[in-house]
Amino acid sequence: MRTAVDMKLENKEVIIIPERCKGCGFCIEFCPQHVLVESTEINSKGYHPVYISDESRCNKCDICGMICPDFAISVVDIKKKPKS
């Protein structure tokens, strides 16, 4: 059975902008679910951007978004606006 918390989490998504990531690892270090990892890919600045290894374990807490100094990762609300 889907709970209200489940439904709330379904309306949120982690967005990563790889070009902004400088691979500092802060989000990897502080993610309570340990789902962020460094990619083997390299962005145009020469850094390895992060990605989520297991989205099902992400609790959308947005600690990654709060700690990222470059605004490269954040949790956004993808809930559709109600029709007026």
Binding site for ligand SF4 (CB under 6 A): 14, 21-27, 31-33, 35-36, 50, 52, 58-64, 67-68, 70, 72-73, 75
- Could you tell me which residues come within 8 angstroms of residue 63 by beta carbon, excluding any fewer than 6 positions away? 27, 30, 31, 32
Q: Which is nearer to ligand SF4, 7 or 32 (CB)?
A: 32
Report in angstroms how near the CB of residue 11 gets to ligand SF4 at its nearest.
14
Backbone φ and ψ of 18, nearest 5°: -55, -35
Nearest approach, Cβ of residue 16 and ligand SF4 (Å): 6
